[in-house]
Structure 1
Amino acid sequence: MKRFTYTRAETVADAVAILADRPQAQFLAGGTNLVDLMKYDVERPDAIIDINSLPLKEIEELPDGGLRIGALASNSAVAYNAQIQARFPLLASAILAGASPQLRNAATTGGNLLQRTRCSYFYDPSTPCNKREPGSGCAAIGGLTRMHAILGASDKCIAVHPSDMCVALAALDATVEVVGPDSARDIAFGDFHRLPGDEPQRDNTLARDELVTGIRLEANRFAGHHTYLKLRDRLSYAFALVSVAAAMEIADGRIVDLRIALGGVAHRPWRDPLVEAEYAGAPAEDVTFQRVADRLLFEAKGLGGNDFKILLARKAIVRALRQAASGRPQSQTLKAIQ
Structure 2
Amino acid sequence: MPRQEFRGAPDISDSADPARFSGGEGFPVSIASHSIPFGLVALIFLLALPICAFAGFRFGSLELTRNPARFVEGKLPGEASLGALLALLGLLLGFTFSATLNWREASVSAVVEEAAALGTAFLRADLLPDAEGRPLQQALLDYGRTRIVPPGYRPTRENIDAFVAKSTEAQASLWPATMAALTPEVPAPVATFVAGGITEVLDAHSRRVAAASKSITSGIWMLLTFAAGSGVFIIGNRAALQGRRLSWRTMVFSVVLTAVLVTIEDLSRASDGFSIVPQTPLIAAVADMEAALGTAALASAAPQP
Normalised by the shorter chain, which TM-score bucket?
under 0.3
Normalised TM-score (structure 2): 0.22
Q: Which has the higher helix share?
A: 2
Structure number with greater Rg is 2
The one of the two structures with greater contact order (alpha-carbon pairs below 8 A, sep at least 6) is 2
Counting strand residues as a fraction of each chain, which structure ranks higher?
A: 1
Report the TM-score, using the length of structure 1 for normalisation: 0.21
